Amino acid sequence: MKKRFQIKILGQEIAVFSDSGDEHVASVVRYVNQKADEIGKTSHDGNALQIAILAALNIADEYFKNNTLREEAYRQLETRSGKLIELINGIRPQ
């Protein structure tokens, strides 16, 4: 069941609904604010919308890179487990 959360991102209060627990939502909010703060420190403009867009792009970039790494790890595990199964099957007593 979705729960309503009152969160604050870039100084803006927003109501959101989530199935996740309090701690997870708080972690996500902290992460987004941390990314926005990092962008804000390097941005000379300070425009909140621009900072939000850049933070979203950085988070999306991390997401896609992590997905690629995860998929590669799964492929490696599949290959290695297949080789182990072949090795185990080849060692059976006759």
What does 44-92 look like in DSSP terms, one character per residue? SS--HHHHHHHHHHHHHHHHHHHHHHHHHHHHHHHHHHHHHHHHHHHT-
pLDDT at 44: 79
For each successive 10 residues of the chain (94 residues), what is the average pLDDT? 94 95 97 95 85 95 98 96 91 64
